[in-house]
A = this chain, B = another copy of it.
Amino acid sequence: MAEAGISWVRIGEFAWSRLEPSAGVFTFDWLDRAIEVLSNAGLKIILGTPTCTPPRRMLEQFPDMLALDAQGQPRKFGARRHYCFSHAGYRAASGRIAEILGDRYGRDTRIHGWQIDNEYGCHDTVLSYSDAARDAFRDWLAARYVTVEALNAAWGNVFWSMEYGDFDEIDLPNLTVTQPNPSHELAFRRFSSDQVVRYHEVQVAALRVRTDRPLIHNYMGRVLDFDHFEVGAALDIASWDSYPIGFLSDRLEASAAHKIRYLQQGDPDMQGFHHDLYRAVGKEGRWWVMEQQPGPVNWAPFNPAPLPGMVRLWSWEAFAHGAEVVSYFRWRQAPFAQEQMHAGLRRPDDAPAPGLAEVTQVAREIAQMPDIALQQAEVALIFDYPSEWAWTTLPQGQGFSYFALMLDAYRALRAQGLSIDILPSTVRDLSGYRLVLAPGLATLPDGLEAALTGAVTLIGPRANAVTPEISIPLPMGPNLAGLDVTVTQVETLPPQIARTVKGGGALHHWVETLEGTAQTSYETDNGQAVVKHTGNLHYLAGWPDATLWARLVADLAKQAGVNTREMPEGVRLRATQTHVFAFNYNAEAVAFDGVTIPPAGVHWWPV
């Protein structure tokens, strides 16, 4: 590995059955040998806690530890992530194995970091409808609302006679005859996120006192069922597992043409978005790519190979966004079990796989580069997990997705050549940002609006539209100080329909009717306000298509004194203190700024 320029290696994350072959009996010799060998080869080791794969025997001890799906079916042993976050016994057992590993390896200088569990939420594992979850939910509700009368009032349970007489009468919001009360469902989603945090913090507590090395978790792409900022708060480094081709295939809304165009490259904005998001999740911006796709994988609907050059491009893009480390998954393709068709940097027969040469090249190039020095972006985008839960709970139109709206906004900014910081909705210091976007932010938290005043700001659509309990606020939203705008009606539109906007572009999916004295800066062809603003504060009344997004971003950036440039399709920029990087996601060369960037190519200029 070291020859390939690889300096970090992760081990142990699925190894519980080997670490503790029978209850209380530990076999560390194989792990000790592995640590010795890898360390002698010059590699820095990340040790993973194996809690994502409890051994079969654990089910004898805790027969009720499995999650149940929304249909009430157990999610059985035989793969991974077969546990309910609310199961107290398994939570304690997870803390215990972390303690045992911490006791033995916490001060081992060859262990340079710790990964806790693996890919929380992968395979839709956050929401569980088990008895353990139900009981914990009742406790959580009692703690939050204190009295059941307060809960009834907060949820509006008088509607349809849904009032409860006692917390113990409250069930999980699955299998209801029709839609459950959105307040009920949102509470369950908040609870479920909290249960991940609670589960997680037991292991953090176990390790924190046993090691000084950084604690890390490897998040996934577009897993939104728990609040990553809250999990990340207890960690030192955020990392994520980046599978550009798999994700384009299995978790992105996109036209068939887009999916074909980027089949062997991945979506041009999906990686950058997550890089910027996880930079915000990491403490002081520290983040890694823990697993970088190095070739065809096994789990997407279709699994083509990356175009030659893409492994290098993805790696460089991560570094340009500030990754400290890019690690590849996996080193050698395993010839058996579920991931036997998941490429590694080496083939099952240990010969080099195509990705390895690119990785080696990146390592060489990086070595010749001064360290990447990040700079604060001029543009900020606010990302908020509870907004995702709110709109999943109450989409109002088929397929309304907060994430998709955010990715659209991010894509629009990048299509104008901008670098972006993603920020949590808990941010209160926005100094230095010239332009801030907060689309779809369900509820503006106290203090955020005050912090926004320095920059040109775009709020909406669907922003500050509900209370934290998901009801309509009175007076009705967005209730922005200094901007006389009220959303009086909402419409959702099928995909084939759009409301065209004077001057070009259109609203689709989601359209609001505005009332108020603020100035109208965009309107539809039939005279409906699309953007209203007063001074720097703009409210957007719908979901723009790409053309309208481009106009909006260009206009707002101009007002904010931020330079933009329209990028060729599939080409993206990223500016650091010292360089500007360009990434060509196309399968064809693109002429840009006096150079020709090859297909799947990277180019950088010193500033």
Contact = CB atoms under 8 A, between A and B. Distances in A.
Interface of A: 14-18, 21-22, 50, 53-57, 67, 71-82, 122-123, 125, 155-165, 169, 171, 173-184, 249, 256, 259-260, 263, 295-296, 298-299, 301-305, 333-341, 343, 347-349, 351, 353-354, 394, 396-398, 469-476, 488-494, 496-497, 513
A488 B353 CA distance: 8
6 contacts: A78-B184, A125-B177, A160-B338, A301-B398, A304-B492, A336-B472
A526 to B, nearest CB: 11
A352 to B, nearest CB: 10
A249 B397 CA distance: 11
A249 B135 CA distance: 39
A183 B184 CA distance: 42
**Is the contact region of chain A dominated by helix, strand, or loop, or is it mixed?**
loop
Contacts of A173: 78
A286 B428 CA distance: 63
A125 to B, nearest CB: 6
B472 A162 contact: no
A156 B398 CA distance: 42
A76 B338 contact: no
Contacts of A473: 335
A16 B181 CA distance: 17
A64 to B, nearest CB: 15
B18 A161 contact: yes
Q: Which of A56, A339, A476 has the most chain B CB within a 10 Å cutoff?
A: A56
Given A337-B157, A341-B396, A398-B302, A76 B348 contact: no
Given A76-B177, A182-B338, A349-B475, 20 more contacts: A17-B163, A56-B164, A67-B177, A75-B176, A75-B177, A78-B176, A78-B184, A123-B177, A159-B336, A159-B338, A159-B339, A259-B494, A301-B494, A302-B397, A302-B492, A302-B493, A304-B493, A335-B474, A336-B472, A340-B472
Contact of A347 (B17, B158, B177, B476): B476
A180 B78 contact: yes
Contact of A471 (B14, B301, B336): B336
A20 to B, nearest CB: 10
A65 to B, nearest CB: 12
B160 A53 contact: yes
B337 A156 contact: yes
Nearest to A511: B304
